[in-house]
């Protein structure tokens, strides 16, 4: 309980509702889209280049650990300023909407390796496969969100440069982990990164952030 109270104290009031909407929309997209998958044909975007990356079970720690990175950076980014927060959340929601449309219109899958080895990391990898079916792959939401965590703070001068570089490093590391766990293929990764950059640039050139600000104020009344 104290952990949640600590997190709550770090989140500005103007960012509370947008962040909650962000989380709800994320899970709604990721889980809700599967309602449209019955009797669908799934495309496999695996290429020969994916063989460059071996299966490294220990990288499942990076894959699961990404959630802590996301939480920390989403809060940091939203603390920068109201306008920056609304722009960031706007990009996130737009990106997830594009993911939903893409998943429904162009469902993809991949072939995961059969796990025959034993050990803690292999067991964790098998657990990941069990709870996360091989769909919702292109573009990768894991890579999308991780790149947002870098893009959203790379211009924030109030955040130390070492942490901005660290965020870039972590974003790349997480993207690689999606390949070495066979959760995604290269096209999924590039799709997620490209979508993050495009939506981030779009929300800086339109009035979406201001619209979100107005809606948030109306909800808060």
Any idea which residue has 């959630």 for tokens?
67
What does DSSP assign to residue 62?
A: H
What does DSSP assign to residue 113?
A: P
What's the whole-model pTM score? 0.89
d(CA 124, CA 143): 20
pLDDT in tens, the chain (221 residues): 566 666 667 899 999 999 999 999 999 999 999 999 999 999 999 999 999 999 999 999 999 999 999 999 999 999 999 999 999 999 999 999 999 999 999 999 999 999 998 899 999 999 999 999 999 999 999 999 999 999 999 999 999 999 999 999 999 999 999 999 999 999 999 999 999 999 999 998 875 545 555 555 555 54
Name every residue whose Cβ is closer than 8 Å to that of residue 85 and which is 6 or more positions away in sequence. Answer: 12, 14, 15, 18, 77, 78, 79
């Amino acid at each position: 309980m104290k952990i949640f109270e600590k997190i709550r104290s770090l989140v500005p009031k103007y960012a509370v509702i947008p962040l909650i909407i962000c989380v709800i929309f994320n899970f709604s997209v990721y889980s809700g889209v599967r309602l449209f998958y019955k009797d669908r044909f799934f495309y496999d975007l695996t290429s020969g280049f994916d063989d460059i990356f071996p299966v490294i079970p220990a990288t499942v720690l990076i894959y699961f650990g990404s959630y802590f990175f996301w939480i920390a950076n989403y809060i940091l980014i939203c603390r920068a300023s109201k306008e920056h927060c609304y722009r960031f959340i706007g990009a996130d929601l737009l990106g997830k909407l594009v993911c939903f449309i893409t998943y429904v219109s162009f469902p993809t899958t991949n072939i995961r390796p059969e796990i025959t080895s034993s050990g803690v990391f292999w067991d964790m990898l098998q657990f990941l496969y069990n709870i996360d079916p091989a769909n919702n792959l292109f573009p990768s939401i894991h890579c999308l969100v991780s790149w947002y965590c870098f893009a959203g703070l790379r211009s924030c001068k109030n955040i130390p440069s070492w942490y901005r570089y660290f965020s870039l490093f972590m974003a790349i590391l997480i993207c690689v982990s999606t390949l070495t766990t066979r959760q995604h293929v290269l096209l999924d990764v590039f799709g997620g990164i490209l979508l993050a950059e495009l939506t981030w640039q779009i929300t800086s050139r339109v009035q979406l952030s201001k619209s979100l600000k107005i809606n948030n104020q109306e909800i808060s009344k």
